[in-house]
């Protein structure tokens, strides 16, 4: 029983670390757009 709880705890921590890493990677991707990509705001203000 203790081994099962320990295993579930380790899996939960690993999953939490994985989701945090994925969120950070997604945020960095949107915060640093590739060169030439001005983003939605600049394109909308240019049309005015």
Q: Is the dihedral of CA 26, 31, 35, 38 positive or negative?
A: positive
Question: What is the structure's pLDDT at 34?
Answer: 62
Tens of pLDDT, residue by residue over 12-36, are 999 999 999 998 888 777 776 666 6
Q: What's the predicted TM-score (pTM) here?
A: 0.52
Contact criterion met (CB below 8 Å) for 26 and 19: no
- 17 by DSSP, 3-state: which? helix
- 24 by DSSP, 3-state: which? helix
Question: What is the structure's pLDDT at 9?
Answer: 97
Question: What is the structure's pLDDT at 24?
Answer: 87
Mean pLDDT in residue range 2-20: 96
Rounded to whole angstroms, how far apart are CA atoms 30 and 32?
A: 5
Contacts with 46 (C-beta within 8 Å, 6 or more apart), sequence order:
38
């Amino acid at each position: 029983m203790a081994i099962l709880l320990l295993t579930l705890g380790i899996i939960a921590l690993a999953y939490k670390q994985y989701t945090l890493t994925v969120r950070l990677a997604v945020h960095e991707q949107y915060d640093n757009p590739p060169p030439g990509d001005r983003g939605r705001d600049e394109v909308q203000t240019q049309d005015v």
